[in-house]
Amino acid sequence: MMIGKIVWLATASLLVYSSTFTPVPDDSAAAWKPVEAALGRSGQLQPGEVYKFALPRRDMKVVKDGVTVAPGLALGSWLAFKRMGSEAMVMGDLVLSEDEIEPVMLKLQQEKIEQTSIHNHLLGESPRVIYMHIEGHGDPVVLARSLAAAIALTKTPAPATTTPGTAPPAIDLNTVQVEQALGYSGKVNGGILQFSIPRAEKITEGEMEIPPAMGVATAINFQPTGQGKAAISGDFVLLAHEVNPVIRALRTHGIEVTAMHNHMLFEQPHLYFMHFWANDDAIKLAHGLRAAVDVTNSQKPQVK
């Protein structure tokens, strides 16, 4: 009897040890509800166990080259959370007016959320728009509260409400032909045809892999401007040796390079982000973008 009791106690102790020190992470959408409540917004679960929030700047009325820039083209703030054991990492990009930069930066610094880059994406837009990349580590609910406090210092609007069953607006663009020319499948979001093209190699920071949904995939957006034309914007995610080949490919096809910079600080391999702009025939631009993608180590085309 004594031996049996000892064995039972040892087994019970092992079970307690396992449940205490090797918890099974819960990355379901339901597990992120406290983060949604703290941020005051709903997010969506993305591949790579990333929970992402979109914060489009619908309040901004930005014009470039006669085009009124839609939020989904180049005015989309976003935040992406990923669990790291019992904590989380958050990365994101806040779209800000010039007078919002200083108060937001001060609040984020007070909340121990770091800025990893501050820069333009466009050139010659009116009014001026600045983009602030951020990164934080810790309790995801605490991070969400801190970010909510910083966002409250901006004019970022509350989440839009939609009536159930409402059909999304039609897009004035031949999406099939654009996809065939670019070689990748896109999705229509808020009247914008959007593409996300992951790199082929693994991107890491420390010991953690950074999934494409956390901002390390090439982003390409088409906004219809009438008669088969579209304004395009986004950013190529590049290694150093790819930078100038991509510039040459874009410029050869009449696509303007508007910025190049870092978005992160400690990723491996180190990445450069190249932003672009054009407003021309959508199929022609898709062919030009395909030429640029082809000189990068991106995942292979999906559409033939």
pLDDT reading at 247 higher than 50: yes
The answer to whether 62 touches 55, Cβ cutoff 8 Å, is: no
The answer to whether 35 touches 141, Cβ cutoff 8 Å, is: yes
Give, in degrees to the nearest 5, the angle at Cα 143 between 141 and 144.
Answer: 65
Other beta carbons less than 10 A from residue 110's beta carbon: 11
Q: Which element (helix H / strand E) includes 20?
A: helix 2-21
In this prediction, residue 9 carries a pLDDT of 34
In a domain? residue 285: yes
Nearby residues of 110 by Cβ (< 8 Å), 6 or more positions away: none
Task: Residue 70: give its domain's CATH number.
Answer: 3.30.70
Residues 36, 145, single domain; the answer is yes
In a domain? residue 298: no
Structural domain range at position 86: 29-151
Task: Using the 3D structure, point to which of 116, 151, 186 is the last residue of a domain.
Answer: 151
In this prediction, residue 162 carries a pLDDT of 67
Task: Pick the closest to residue 57 from 75, 69, 30 (CA basis).
Answer: 75
Task: Using the 3D structure, point to which of 98, 117, 151 is the last residue of a domain.
Answer: 151
Residues 134, 195, single domain; the answer is no
Residues 146, 189, single domain; the answer is no
Phi, psi at residue 15, to the nearest 5°? Answer: -65, -40
Q: What is the pLDDT of residues 6-30, one digit of tens each?
A: 333 333 433 333 322 233 355 578 8
In a domain? residue 2: no
Residues 52, 132, single domain; the answer is yes
Band (pLDDT 50/70/90 cuts) for residue 168 is confident
- What is the average pLDDT value for the chain, to the nearest integer? 91
In a domain? residue 109: yes
CA–centroid distance for 260 within its chain: 17
Residues 147, 182, single domain; the answer is no
Give the residue, 23 or 184, on which the prediction is more confident: 184
| Cis peptide bond N-terminal to 269, omega within 30 | yes
pTM exceeds 0.95, yes or no: no
How many domains, the chain? Answer: 2
Task: Pick the closest to residue 266 from 146, 139, 135, 143 (CA basis).
Answer: 135
Q: What is the pLDDT of residues 188-231, one digit of tens each?
A: 999 999 999 999 999 999 989 999 999 999 999 999 999 999 99
In this prediction, residue 3 carries a pLDDT of 41
